[in-house]
Chains A and B, each alone.
Chain A
Amino acid sequence: MDYTRLYDVIVIGGGHAGTEAAHAAARMGSDTLLITHSIEALGQMSCNPAIGGIGKSHLVREIDACDGLMAKVIDRAGIQFRVLNQRKGPAVRATRAQADRMLYRQHMRYVLANTPNLTIFQQPVSDLLIDNDQVKGVVLGMGLKLYSRTVVITAGTFLAGQIHIGMNQQSGGRAGDPASNDLANSLRGRPFRIARLKTGTPPRIDSRSVDCKNLQEQPGDTPTPYLSMMSTGDEHPQQIPCYLSRTTEKTRDIILENLHLSPMYAGVIEGVGPRYCPSIEDKIVRFADKPTHQVFLEPEGLNSHELYPNGVSTSLPYEVQLAIVRSMEGCADAIITRPGYAIEYDFFDPRDLNSTLESKIVANLYFAGQINGTTGYEEAGAQGLLAGANAALRAQDRESWVVGRDEGYLGVMVDDLITLGTQEPYRMFTSRAEYRLALREDNADTRLTEKAWTLGLVGEELWQKFNDRQEQIHNELSRLKSIWVRPLDPCTENLNRVLTAPLSKESTAHDLLKRPEIHYQDLVELADIGCHSDPSISSQVEILVKYSGYIDRQTDEIKKLKKNEQVRLPTDIDYSKIVGLSNEVKQKLLDHRPETISQASRISGVTPAAVSLLLVYLKKLELSHLAS
């Protein structure tokens, strides 16, 4: 690290947001410095050892479509892969991988260490250098000042992190790592809106102390799926299964007896935890009549004896944790290797960010990851990509990059965060995406790669692969459109057995595929027209044809809304001057400071009439501007 240099981008933090941010900025040719408190911990999975899952794998594919890291690394570190919702329709299909924590960290560090334009430096950061509402660099723990054009802050749960185990509390960023209290204190002194959130993690168990014989085994899928477009499936290490255990009536009794020792229930924790990832004590209290809860025993790695019991996150005292674990099926003699805990941390109100993740308060300062109120490696990584790319664009004086709600889950997440804020750690779900049918795991490249290429995020190899794929999809669609099947053709008899209404007039293979009852594979076999050699291409073609009606309708809807996206609300607009707006709406607009009319309309409580009044006011501003 050269302290005399003016870096383009400084990234604070080496977690999932920080690594993607730094790598993205470096890919785009920006002189990038990643500062972490521990180089060993780069890419550390602090909570569960898994990547992907419903909604989340969509984000991983989007990162990958921009040539980011997460998918490539997990393909080399995943030890059990499954495709969830395999038979519920392509839009909600999702890949999930168990990770070997150590392999994940190793690969991540290897890739980062070999990235041109990227320097890694180990030091805590104690303050930001801000001049005239513009960030100029950072101050290191040892007092040194470093200068840069832009800064991306990805401090995760480290800002004023407070770890709770029972009634015992201590400062910490995660188990075994110190919190960033200096940075937290200096940030609290600036006009950011800061609040507390809480999350938790379960105790870890020694796998040798668990009796798996009677537990249900959960193997990965065969053939083993993979997440990156650049992977072939040969990257995978050895694959091993997970096991399914359950809590018992005894577990419930233990928890109910000891509830007063839970910092959540004793009122020690003020932060709000996620509803979808409750502690085991929450589950027992809220769903009192449920006799048992499932617990997935997930291996932490090939060279580790530790298991991650997914489903029993808790902050009860250690003695109670041990009793809980030992009351679970197959765990009577279990040994805990690390206690579970709850952690409270500072997060920054994401409504203070704009859609590039740049702060509205301090220019050239970007926020990504858990610091914005999200949870999950995938959510963090995707934000890191966006923030890192935009920091690089700013440093290069180029136009910023915004991902629309219609372009990716990344767009949905950022828009949700910046327009609505969040009351609990925000996690991605497919039901958050109104264009779910168009935002599929299988077409992330079609949605994002070309744009990412123009930004300089995408390498030559991926770009070639992408173009080749697009061409093949196009060719296969044309081929199906050019093949005609006639009612009197010999193959029609075969086809009619599958079709609900027999073929009555000459049709193309493309038209036949539109019928819900016939699949690509049946069609090509029955009509004897040969199939595409790459199943991922033929499946893409099948989805495009079968979903075309719905996707066309969504495209129309998107086009209509585009107009509203393009009407920008000036940042200095004085809402109190707008005649007719109720005080409640004025307050909401002041709190959220939406960037566009479209964002304003999504804020709860902002009525269509209020939006009309805003439009009229904007027009009035424009007219008076013209007049003067």
Chain B
Amino acid sequence: MIRSDTIVASATAPGRGAISIIRLSGPQCVQIAQTLSGKLLKPRIATFGSIISQSEVIDTGIWIYFAGPHSFTGEDTVEFQGHGGPVVTQTILHLMTHLGARLAEPGEFSQRAFLNGKIDLTQAEAISDLINASSVSAVKAANNSLQGNFADQVNSIISHLITLRTQIEAHIDFPDEDIEPQSINAFSLAITDIKTDIDKLVQSAHEGAKLNRSAEIVLIGEPNAGKSSLLNALARAPLAIVTDIPGTTRDLIRHELLIDGLEIRITDTAGIRSTTDIIETEGINRAIKALQAADLVLCLFDERHQQISEDTVQNLIGILPNIPVGLLNTKIDIHRKPINNQTRYPLLEVSSKTGEGLPEFRNWLLEKLNLTTHAETPFLARQRHLEHLKHANLHIKAADHHHVAVETIDLIAEDLRLTQNALSEITGRFTSDDLLTSIFSTFCIGK
């Protein structure tokens, strides 16, 4: 869709690197920058400044304004180069959307650049691929955000809204029909209820936005396969006690690691295998739970394995989950004889001790976890959902504000339509025909 609004996104991969760049594109970008920095930016001149919100300095860095068409997207563009960090970046994005920018869809900057003739023809296929890949990851991330309690509450709000709109629109479009006249008071109460529900959801969703876990990884391997050493190597600091006696990590151990500034939670487990040991059974049950919540599973093998078959893997992780699985040999420094991989999973080889292969392994991890620049994270998806909820909230407040006078029912209906449009951004399109279907299945219409 051609949209001429102002979009914003982090231009650097989440967490990676020493600086973070936030990019705004569209007609409002200079104005937003001016509000946040208190400075009037001049084209192509780097301006040192802070981002201040409620007299608190959020971050300090460099602002650069590229006036369209001489910018990456061909529109007016502003970049802020700051110190970054996930929390600061999110706060800044939040401030900017509050001032009228919209979180960019994945790939939207490149798309605008292409449509404005800033990227040449040879890139067309690449842009198409990018849009495709991004929309796949966006759908996945949105599904992740739309789970459990949050989804239940959103759906309940939408269903109340549809019921109310069905009543009001039937009241408008079929005045001569045999419809039990709903009192205006009942409409009023229903509007207030929906407003309260949206308010509550926005609040709790904010509190619960501890979604900034970037990813969950489960590490499975036989005792002494090198899990703890790997963790230490990845974290570049001792985390788990590393000994040579098998069984040290019998219980589940959770570690929160920062890899390239990204928070990754790793659960360390001995694997799923049948045992009579009560303590170990409990450990295995926990491992199964951890597997269900995981984004990725890593199976560790060492020099004791000459070959790995599908059975070997299944013995370790039980029923194969629908998430990426990687096989990992962590001790290539000890044993150089190649392992024969007969499974469909990739085998990655590193040395926790010397660090050999670790950079490649990290990149593989980030890619599999969808943490590359263009991918949508569940956190971002939730941010989008929250924004739509806030828009919905504005409109339902307007409806509530009308004190539901009979004579302005057309205005209230409009506010409710806008509320529904905002919510539809979360759960999918609700058309006027869907509304009519609801009316016809609720009421006996037919003069």
Give residues in A with beta carbon < 8 Å to B.
Answer: 54-55, 84-85, 87-92, 275-278, 282-283, 286-287, 290, 293-294, 296, 310-311, 313, 420, 429-432, 434, 436-437, 516, 547, 550, 560, 563-564, 567, 579-580, 597, 601, 604, 607-609, 611-613, 615-617, 619-620, 623-624, 627
User: In the docked arrangement, what's the CA distance between A349 and B8, Å?
Assistant: 43
Question: Which of the four size classes fits the interface of chain B?
Answer: 35 or more
Contact B410 A91 (CB under 8 A): yes
A624 to B2, Cβ gap below 8 A? no
**How distant is the Cα of A607 from the Cα of B444 in the complex, in angstroms?**
34
**How far in angstroms is the closest Cβ of chain A from B405?**
8
* A290–B429 CA distance with the chains assembled, in angstroms: 32
Sample 27 A-B pairs with CB under 8 A, ordered by A number: A84-B176, A88-B171, A88-B410, A89-B407, A92-B172, A92-B409, A290-B444, A294-B178, A294-B447, A431-B432, A432-B432, A432-B433, A432-B436, A437-B410, A437-B414, A550-B414, A560-B3, A563-B2, A564-B2, A579-B125, A604-B429, A609-B132, A615-B2, A615-B111, A616-B128, A617-B124, A620-B121
Give the distance in Å from the alpha carbon of A283 to the alpha carbon of B437 in the complex.
15
Taking a contact as CB atoms under 8 Å apart, the answer to whether A84 and B114 are in contact is no
- Contact indicator B447/A283 (Cβ below 8 Å): no
Q: How far, in Å, is A300 (CB) from chain B's closest CB?
A: 16
Residue in contact with A276 in the complex, picked from B5, B134, B445, CB distance below 8 Å = B445
Is B236 located at the chain interface by the 8 A CB criterion? no
Residues of B within 8 A of A278 (CB): 445-446
Pick from A296, A420, A431: contact of B172, CB under 8 Å: A431
Q: Mark B84-128, 1 if CB is under 8 A from A, else 0.
A: 000000000000000000000101000100110100110011011
B52 within 8 A of A: no
The answer to whether A623 and B446 touch (CB under 8 A), given A276-B440, A432-B432, A437-B411, is no
**Which of B5, B433, B437, B447 has most A Cβ within 10 Å?**
B447
B residues 6-47 near A (Cβ < 8 Å) are: none
B342 interface residue (CB < 8 Å to A): no
Does B315 have its Cβ within 8 Å of any Cβ on chain A?
no
Contact A608 B105 (CB under 8 A): yes
Instruction: Tell me whether B1 and A612 are in contact (CB under 8 A).
Output: yes
Given A293-B444, A609-B131, the answer on whether A88 and B409 have CB atoms closer than 8 Å is yes
CA distance A623 to B132 in the complex (A): 21
B431 within 8 A of A: yes
Expressed in whole angstroms, the Cα–Cα distance for A89 and B134 within the complex equals: 44
**B435, A431: Cβ atoms closer than 8 Å:** yes
Which residues of A sit under 8 angstroms from B414, Cβ to Cβ? 436-437, 550
Q: Which residues of A contact B178 (CB under 8 A)?
A: 290, 293-294
User: CB-CB < 8 A to A275: which residues of B?
Assistant: 436-437, 440, 445
Query: Contacts A88-B406, A90-B410: A611 and B1 contacting too (C-beta < 8 A)?
Result: yes
Cα of A516 to Cα of B409 in the assembled complex, Å: 13
Please indicate the chain A residues that have their CB under 8 angstroms from the CB of B1 in the complex.
Answer: 564, 597, 601, 608, 611-612, 615
Residues from chain A with a CB closer than 8 A to the CB of B181 are none
User: Please, how many angstroms separate the alpha-carbon atoms of A429 and B129 in the complex?
Assistant: 41
For A92, what are the chain B residues with a Cβ–Cβ distance below 8 Å?
A: 172-173, 409-410, 413
- Any chain A CB within 8 A of the CB of B174? yes
Chain B residues with Cβ below 8 Å from A310 are: 447
Contacts of B2 in A (CB 8 A): 563-564, 567, 597, 615
Which residues of A sit under 8 angstroms from B417, Cβ to Cβ? 434
Question: Separation in Å of the A620 CB from the closest CB of chain B?
Answer: 4
Contact of B121 among A90, A293, A311, A627 (CB under 8 A): A627
- A85, B446: Cβ atoms under 8 Å? no
Measured in the bound complex, the distance between the Cα atoms of B105 and A370 in whole Å is 42
Extra inter-chain contacts (18) besides given A430-B172, A616-B111, CB under 8 Å: A54-B173, A54-B175, A55-B173, A89-B408, A275-B436, A276-B436, A293-B178, A429-B173, A431-B172, A436-B413, A516-B402, A563-B2, A564-B2, A579-B125, A607-B135, A611-B1, A612-B111, A623-B117
B120, B121, B417, B437: residue with the most chain A Cβ atoms closer than 10 Å:
B121
Beta-carbon contact of A560 and B4 below 8 Å: yes
Residues of B within 8 A of A434 (CB): 417, 432
The minimal Cβ–Cβ distance linking A420 to chain B, given in whole angstroms, is 8
Interface presence of B169 (CB below 8 A): yes
Of the candidates A88, A608, A612, A619, which one forms a contact with B124 in the assembled complex, judged by CB atoms under 8 Å apart? A619
A264 smallest CB distance to B (angstroms):
14
Contact string against A for B residues 159-176, beta-carbon threshold 8 Å, 1 for contact and 0 otherwise = 000000000010111111
CB distance from A417 to the nearest CB of B (A): 12
If A89-B411, A611-B1 touch, whether A616 touches B131 (CB-CB below 8 Å) is: yes
Assembly CA distance A346 to B132 (angstroms)? 41
- Which residues from chain A contact B107 at a C-beta distance below 8 Å? 612
- Residues of B within 8 Å of A283, CB to CB, are 444, 446
Interface residues in B403-432 by Cβ distance below 8 A to A read 405-411, 413-414, 417, 429, 431-432
Q: A616 near B127 (CB under 8 angstroms)?
A: yes
Taking CB atoms, residues of chain B closer than 8 Å to A604 are: 429, 431
A616 to B114, CA, bound (A): 7
Residues of B within 8 A of A601 (CB): 1
Is the beta-carbon distance between A624 and B429 smaller than 8 angstroms?
A: no
- A624 close to B435 (CB less than 8 A): no
Contacting residue for A620 out of B124, B135, B446, CB 8 A = B124
Question: How close is B177's CB to chain A, nearest CB, in angstroms?
Answer: 8
Assess whether A296 is in contact with B447, with CB atoms less than 8 Å apart: yes
Q: Which of B3, B406, B411 has the most CB of A within 10 A?
A: B411
A623 touches B124 (CB 8 A): yes
